[in-house]
Amino acid sequence: MTASTTGDDATTGRPVVPNLEAILGREYPVLDHGFIRVVDYMGDDAAVVQAARVSYGAGTRRVREDRGLIRYLMRHRHTTPFEMCSIKFHVKLPIFVARQWIRHRTASVNEYSARYSVLDREFYLPAPEDLAVQSKSNAQGREESVLPDVADEIRRLLEQDARQAYSRYEWLLNEQPDGSPADPDRPGLARELARINLPLSTYTQWYWKVNLHNLLHFLQLRADPHAQTEIRVYAEAMLGIVRRWVPVVAEAFEDYRLGAAELSGPMQAVVRAWLAGEPVDREASGLGIREWRELHALVGRELPDT
Amino acid sequence: MTASTTGDDATTGRPVVPNLEAILGREYPVLDHGFIRVVDYMGDDAAVVQAARVSYGAGTRRVREDRGLIRYLMRHRHTTPFEMCSIKFHVKLPIFVARQWIRHRTASVNEYSARYSVLDREFYLPAPEDLAVQSKSNAQGREESVLPDVADEIRRLLEQDARQAYSRYEWLLNEQPDGSPADPDRPGLARELARINLPLSTYTQWYWKVNLHNLLHFLQLRADPHAQTEIRVYAEAMLGIVRRWVPVVAEAFEDYRLGAAELSGPMQAVVRAWLAGEPVDREASGLGIREWRELHALVGRELPDT
Amino acid sequence: MTASTTGDDATTGRPVVPNLEAILGREYPVLDHGFIRVVDYMGDDAAVVQAARVSYGAGTRRVREDRGLIRYLMRHRHTTPFEMCSIKFHVKLPIFVARQWIRHRTASVNEYSARYSVLDREFYLPAPEDLAVQSKSNAQGREESVLPDVADEIRRLLEQDARQAYSRYEWLLNEQPDGSPADPDRPGLARELARINLPLSTYTQWYWKVNLHNLLHFLQLRADPHAQTEIRVYAEAMLGIVRRWVPVVAEAFEDYRLGAAELSGPMQAVVRAWLAGEPVDREASGLGIREWRELHALVGRELPDT
Amino acid sequence: MTASTTGDDATTGRPVVPNLEAILGREYPVLDHGFIRVVDYMGDDAAVVQAARVSYGAGTRRVREDRGLIRYLMRHRHTTPFEMCSIKFHVKLPIFVARQWIRHRTASVNEYSARYSVLDREFYLPAPEDLAVQSKSNAQGREESVLPDVADEIRRLLEQDARQAYSRYEWLLNEQPDGSPADPDRPGLARELARINLPLSTYTQWYWKVNLHNLLHFLQLRADPHAQTEIRVYAEAMLGIVRRWVPVVAEAFEDYRLGAAELSGPMQAVVRAWLAGEPVDREASGLGIREWRELHALVGRELPDT
């Protein structure tokens, strides 16, 4: 291992992004006990351009053109050049968030194992303003926060349960920090079993390595207002990091992906008629009621009375 | 949807495996509340052969030769023909098992969502004989079962905690089966939040679709004695299903994969020397102590005194 | 292998799609010597719904609602339920088409191997109307067809070259159909070497198995007018097959994916202003010239004079 | 793009491998016109250890232990820590080699496009000693080289054909370096069509980015004696680069993967009997003739007369 060096003094012939170097290894706090930090990265805005240009075989290399090329790639979903950059994060996150996160299969993961090791006594306890009411209109959403005194009561109960579950975990493990049993008259339960009593709010951690294309796909889904708040805050922290790392890609992503809306063929026909000043009937347009509403909201047009 | 039919009467021109048809949809119980059942499948032993033969362009098609070809593919890790078969399972399993399972990324998954729906009151409670002591030699293993009275005590505590966590879950949801609030003076907490208090032993369920190559890889790792018991029982149930589905592939898998051991170059040299009746010195052989032991165990040779 | 049966008489408890069964194994001709045929499939429209509903835990099951659910999934890019269906094709295609096709990595492939077997004397010779001029505006496109007499001349030359290359291939192989040398005084060159002289228009064939989600992604890119004609004709044949297999999914795909256009945030602002009758200046809008033109074409608005 | 810097002077806080930095960007010639060069990399031996240790939660960090841990991971196929390193190559290679290479799906690729750009006049012409006779025993192999005068004749013919195909390509394109037509009375054929007449020996190039786990899998298959010579030379060049980059991983790979052989359960039983001095009958052992031979070769034992 002596052949490698790590530290601020090392020089490299690889692309270097000073704005990202500046925060390498720094923990960004997320939620009450979580964090995210950049461990390593590969490539920059120019690496995307370089990969795209190999498909053209040549081309001049001015800054303005590079920006235009990246925006063109993003707009037309030419995705492979974005795979040429990768980033590795160290993340600490509650288990229920990890369960959503891991559904993204195109990444590499090494997670802290509760079969080998003892988990820390750390649980996610939502802040009062994050304790929100079940949405009536959206089965998977939340609405306004509960009243402060209800929030206090919920937090008190969640904390109590989590503490008790952890105490039980310790009792089952029966293992002191030095490995010796706390109670010598009783065997320690296997770690892989003792943990099954812990709640989904327990924190875990992992290394997560992903290429830029797959990261942007993750951010599009998880930085979206429909994502659960507790994963969205991680996505937003990562989006901030992406802005430091590949600012031109990040800008194109926010313009063409995050804020974009898709117009189906029938929706396009309706917009065309409106612009031509022609009346449009919903049923004749072929749009469902839900789409009809989405389209009005999108173009800032009031829904007609019904 | 009326264009499709499902039922015992439907005829098809696709490959059909009567032994698998016989158990289609049948729930195989696993653990205390879990199950696994086959929902759909595609291909059979012959489909593996067909794909392999396209690479040869021709060839006779006798039964004995097909078997030999499948065994050859398995032995030499020619894996792509096994990707031509797929199977879809419906599985009910504890969340901590689902977390190990999902690490296999090359499959398709649709899981029951606790953001949309309310989870059932079902928890994994290990049988007394499965409550085992932490292994001293293997950080991630277990050893012998705890004594019966300790097991009873542990089970009682785990059940108590799980019941309490579920009661709290219901209290937080504040939602009756018909959707109306149990306590009209209090709002129901969003489902996506209420669930974070539930333990990792809670059951979830999913559809899991995988091709035969990736399934065998899963089984090699999870039907292995080093896998945690609670996932191994699912792997064993699936292995039984694979034997019904593609019996020739299953036999080759068990001969060449499950029971196989890998001999490194240095290990091969030691075996050669032993067979030639030459003395072998461990340090000179280049084997580490651990490998040295593994090799002796493998070939049934007693370790020399040291 | 005797445990499996294939043929029109076999009954199955799996989902069956009679419209797809009707063409199972039938070769659809594509290009001059190519074809595509369905070898096997798994799932139907209802399988997509089934997978989506596991995430909801319940729900009534009427036809109209199933269609609405599929269209909702398509519109909002909830893609995993579409992974629950798979299809396996047998395709014969020119090598240069195979090279574009294989860039889609999320599929299983078994290709005819020219290391093991001798390739047939079959080459793609474009029809006269497909011999088109290099586009000036689009580096990777073609424009109008060349004149008939030029087309005849080009076809004559391409055919001549391909025939000569194949004759050379045979000479290098020096191998008669029975395996004996054509010229006993000369050794046959290894097949893996003899083939390197063959042109990219040579036909190859493979089994290609893909899930429905990845197939739709393939079709979106390859049934698009910007795709090279020679791969687009395969995509169009597959789209016709998808309409037979999963008609509700196919309809939703064509409405929301194939004919859809994406409106970036700045584009949405322009449309909003137009509908409100406000003047819009391109530079102030933040749109590039190319986007500005694309937007006008999309909504059927004439470009202002400049 | 100005935010990034590339050059020997840039400093970084990331892991740096001086031995790999020393050859960054250097072209290693492969075959007659090909090359491979490292464009970028991420991680080192220590990054593999770091990812493995997160699963243990702690652990001392001495050099000897790190080496032991890497060897343990390799021996027991704990593969995810190796995914934490990535490398990006720029490769120039004949199209028939690219077709084998691209079958490895778990990598990112950007290839020079002959739809956009004109290919160079470069073809692979095997060296005389590489022009080998088709193997009788192995359908996909080659045996001894052809005689020198036959080799000369073959090379002359291959070169002639390739030159003629390229001249035809230029005639079809009808395009001078400045873009103007060579013959103004005739239109240029679209690039995407003109190229279909070129032979499979034509060189292409691409960026290929892969993680260390998938790279080692590639090397195991393609640095193997059964791989076609023309791809094996690339694999060997990459193996040399891996030795510079992650020397501890490379050593473990060569010990446990490259030189390893797999012993099936029945094979293990035979070896055990031999070591115990017991006679073994092939048919009773359950081994096929082919396996029986392979086992004797592996342990250096002569085949008994039959």
Say what the pLDDT of residue D5 is. 59
User: What are the pLDDT digits (tens) for A166-175?
Assistant: 999 999 999 8
Predicted pLDDT at D261: 85
* D99 in contact with chain C, both atoms CB, cutoff 8 A: yes
How does pLDDT run across B117-169, given as a tens digit for each residue? 899 999 999 999 999 888 877 767 788 888 889 999 999 999 999 999 999 99
| Residue A68 sits at the chain C interface (C-beta within 8 Å) | yes
> What pLDDT does residue A64 have?
55
Within 223-262 of A, beta carbons closer than 8 Å to B belong to 228
| C1/B66 touch (CB, cutoff 8 Å), yes or no | yes
The whole-angstrom distance between C261's CA and the closest CA on chain B is 28
- Say which CATH topology domain B18-124+202-258 has: Gyrase A; domain 2 (3.30.1360)
Binned at pLDDT 50, 70 and 90, residue A234 comes out as very high
Q: What is the pLDDT of residues A270-286, one digit of tens each?
A: 999 999 999 899 999 98
Residue A159 has pLDDT above 50, yes or no: yes
| Residue C81, helix vs strand vs coil | helix
Q: How close does chain A come to D215, measured CA to CA in Å?
A: 14
Residue of B9, B14, B20 to mutate for C, most C C-beta atoms under 10 A: B14
- For B62, other C-beta atoms within 10 Å of its C-beta total 10
The nearest alpha carbon in chain D to C172 belongs to: D154
Token pair belonging to A11: 């020089």
Give B228's Cβ-side CA count (13 Å radius).
26
- Touching C (3+ Cβ pairs <8 A), the chains are A, B, D
Bridge partners (DSSP) of residue A205 are A92
Give the nearest partner residue to A196 out of B94, B113, B164, using CB atoms.
B94
- Any idea where the domains of chain B sit in the sequence? 18-124+202-258, 144-200, 265-299
C298 close to A (CB below 8 A): yes
pLDDT for residue D306 is more than 90 = no
| CATH T-level fold of D13-116+203-260 | Gyrase A; domain 2 (3.30.1360)
The answer, for A221 touching chain B at a CB cutoff of 8 Å, is no
From chain A, the residues in CB contact with C300 under 8 A are: 272, 275-276
CB-based contact A56 D86, cutoff 8 Å: no
- Rounded CA gap, C13 and B6, in Å? 6
CA distance, residue C212 to nearest chain A CA (Å)? 17
Contacts of A68 in chain C (CB under 8 A): 288
Single-letter code of the amino acid located at C251: E
- What residues of A are in contact with residue C274 (Cβ under 8 Å)? 275
> For residues B293 and B201, which has the higher predicted lDDT (pLDDT)?
B201
Contacts of A258 in chain C (CB under 8 A): 265
B46 and C CB contact within 8 Å: yes
Q: Cα A279 to the chain's mean position, in Å?
A: 43
Count of B-D CB contacts under 8 Å: 74
For residue A127, give the DSSP letter.
Answer: -
Catalytic member of C191, C195, C222, C232: C222
pLDDT tens digits along D45-96: 999 999 998 876 554 444 458 888 998 899 888 999 999 999 999 999 999 9
Residue of chain D whose Cα is closest to the Cα of B104: D80
CA distance C192 to A121: 62
Burial class (CB in 10 A: 0-12, 13-18, 19+), A223: buried
Give yes or no for residue B223 having a pLDDT over 70: yes
CB contacts, 8 Å: A195 with chain B = 96, 200
What's the mean pLDDT when you consider all of chain A?
Answer: 90
ipTM: 0.92
CA–CA distance, C246 with C15 (Å, rounded to integer): 12
Looking at CA atoms only, how far is residue B112 from chain C in angstroms? 4
What architecture (CATH level 2) is domain C15-119+201-260?
2-Layer Sandwich (3.30)
Q: Which two tokens stand for residue D248?
A: 């501890």
Q: Are strands A142-145 and A34-42 parallel, antiparallel or unpaired?
A: unpaired
B125 CB-contact burial (10 Å; exposed 0-12 / middle 13-18 / buried 19+): buried
* Shortest Cα–Cα distance, A252 to chain C (Å): 10
* CA–CA distance, D167 with D271 (Å, rounded to integer): 61
pLDDT at C60: 42
The pTM score is: 0.94
Judged against a pLDDT cut of 70, whether residue B38 lies above it is answered with: yes
Confidence of residue A4 (pLDDT cuts 50, 70, 90): low
Residue of B nearest to A172 (CA): B154
Residues of chain A positioned with their CB less than 8 A from the CB of B195? 96, 200
* Neighboring chain D residues of C190 at a CB cutoff of 8 Å: 132-135, 141-143
Q: Does D113 touch chain B (CB under 8 A)?
A: no
pLDDT score recorded for residue C4: 61
Beta-carbon separation of B95 and A175 below 8 A:
no
Whether residue C99 and residue D99 make contact (CB cut-off 8 A), yes or no, is yes
Q: How far is A40 from chain C (nearest CA, A)?
A: 26
The answer, yes or no, to whether residue A1 has pLDDT greater than 70, is no
Which residue, A36, A39, A34, A35, is CA-closest to A21? A39
Q: Which residue from A56, A255, A275 is facing C265, i.e. has the nearest CB? A: A255
pLDDT of residue B2: 44
Q: Band the pLDDT of A7: cuts 50, 70, 90.
A: low
A61-70, C293-302, D94-103: range with lowest mean pLDDT: A61-70
% residues pLDDT > 90 (chain D): 66
Least confident of B209-213, D135-139, D174-178: D135-139
Terminal CA-CA length for chain A: 73
Cα distance between residue B3 and residue B6, in whole Å: 10
Question: Any CB–CB contact under 8 A between B269 and chain A?
Answer: no
Contact B56 C109 (CB under 8 A): no
Contact flag A75-C260 (C-beta cutoff 8 Å): no
pLDDT at A98: 98
Question: Nearest CA to CA, how far is D302 from chain B (Å)?
Answer: 11
pLDDT of residue B231: 98
Question: pLDDT under 70 in chain C at which residues?
Answer: 1-9, 56-64, 139, 305-306
Residue D1 has pLDDT above 50, yes or no: no
Interface of C with B in 161-220 (CB under 8 A): 205-207, 209, 211
The answer to whether A288 contacts C68, with C-beta atoms less than 8 Å apart, is yes
Q: What is the average per-residue pLDDT within A112-130?
A: 93
- For residue B300, give the amino acid letter: G
Cα of A188 to nearest chain B Cα, Å: 6
Question: CB-CB: which of B1, B47, B209 is closest to C63?
Answer: B1
Whether residue B141 and residue A190 make contact (CB cut-off 8 A), yes or no, is yes
Catalytic-residue membership of B232 = no
**Catalytic residue (one of B191, B195, B222, B232):** B222
Q: Is the pLDDT of residue D150 over 70?
A: yes
- Name the residues of D annotated as catalytic: 222
- Predicted pLDDT of residue D116: 85
In CATH, what is the architecture of A13-119+205-260?
2-Layer Sandwich (3.30)
CA distance A244 to A242: 5
Is the confidence at residue B186, as pLDDT, over 90? no
Nearest to C140 among D115, D126, D161 (CB): D115
Residue with tokens 């692309």: A15
Residue B256 has pLDDT above 70, yes or no: yes
Q: Which of C56, C263, C300 sits opposite A261 (nearest CB)?
A: C263
Q: What is the mean pLDDT of chain B?
A: 90
Q: Which residues of B touch D260 (CB under 8 A)?
A: 262-265
Q: State what percent of residues in chain A have pLDDT above 70.
A: 93
List chains adjacent to chain D, taking adjacency as at least 3 C-beta pairs closer than 8 Å: A, B, C
Q: Which residue has the tokens 């099936």?
A: D264
Interface check A136 vs B, CB under 8 A = no
Cβ contact B190–A105 (<8 Å): no
The pair of three-digit structure tokens given for residue A210, joined into one six-digit string: 């992903």
With an 8 Å Cβ cutoff, are C118 and B57 in contact? yes
Kindly state the tokens that stand for C108.
């299983």
Nearest to B110 among C6, C24, C55 (CB): C55
Sign of the alpha-carbon torsion through B248, B251, B254, B257:
negative
Taking CB atoms and an 8 Å cutoff, what residues of chain C touch D128?
A: none
Asked if B15 and C248 come within 8 Å (Cβ–Cβ), the reply is no
Give the model's pLDDT for residue C22: 96
| Angle (nearest 5°) at CA A126 between A124 and A132 | 145
